[in-house]
């Protein structure tokens, strides 16, 4: 992916972020961080994404394909899709919305 270009996953999550109240987007050095009330809840780097989830949702997410614990800390999971299909994007959107809803809990 060329520098400055957005992945399909990032474009979709940007769309969702624009629909959620209080969510801000911060582009960094190769990644995009999403926050609610100053609390980071998702980070996208290319076709990879990390989400800060509640413990029960994080446990369930870790049982799905292409997901592993993130080194960002407790509750964070990382989606590393081998192939980005509609089902993977749908899961990412669900986790993104949940993470945004629970940011700060």
DSSP H/E element including 88:
helix 86-102
In a domain, 1, yes or no: no
C-alpha distance across the termini of the chain, in Å:
35
> Is-above-0.75 flag for pTM?
yes
pLDDT grade for 19, boundaries at 50, 70 and 90: very high
**Residue range 60-93, pLDDT digits in tens:** 999 999 999 999 999 999 999 988 899 999 999 9
In a domain, 2, yes or no: no
**Do residues 58 and 49 lie in contact, with contact meaning Cβ atoms separated by under 8 Å?**
no
In a domain, 60, yes or no: yes
**Residue range 21-53, pLDDT digits in tens:** 999 999 988 899 999 999 999 999 988 999 999
Q: How far apart are CA 76 and CA 47, in angstroms?
A: 17
Domains: count for the chain: 1
In a domain, 3, yes or no: no
**Do residues 44 and 1 lie in contact, with contact meaning Cβ atoms separated by under 8 Å?**
no
**Do residues 34 and 64 lie in contact, with contact meaning Cβ atoms separated by under 8 Å?**
no
Task: Give the domain CATH number at 74.
Answer: 3.90.1150.30
User: Which residue range(s) make up the domain with 34?
Assistant: 8-102
**Do residues 32 and 44 lie in contact, with contact meaning Cβ atoms separated by under 8 Å?**
yes
In a domain, 98, yes or no: yes
In a domain, 85, yes or no: yes
């Amino acid at each position: 992916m060329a520098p400055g270009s957005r992945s399909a996953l990032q474009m979709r999550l940007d769309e969702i972020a624009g629909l959620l109240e209080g969510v801000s987007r911060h582009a960094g050095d190769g990644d995009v961080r999403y926050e609610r009330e100053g609390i980071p809840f998702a980070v996208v780097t290319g076709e990879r994404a990390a989400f800060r989830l509640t413990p029960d949702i994080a446990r369930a997410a870790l049982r799905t394909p292409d997901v592993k614990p993130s080194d960002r800390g407790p509750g964070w999971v990382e989606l590393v899709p081998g192939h980005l299909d509609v089902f993977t994007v749908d899961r990412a959107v669900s986790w993104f919305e949940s993470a945004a809803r629970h940011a700060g809990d």
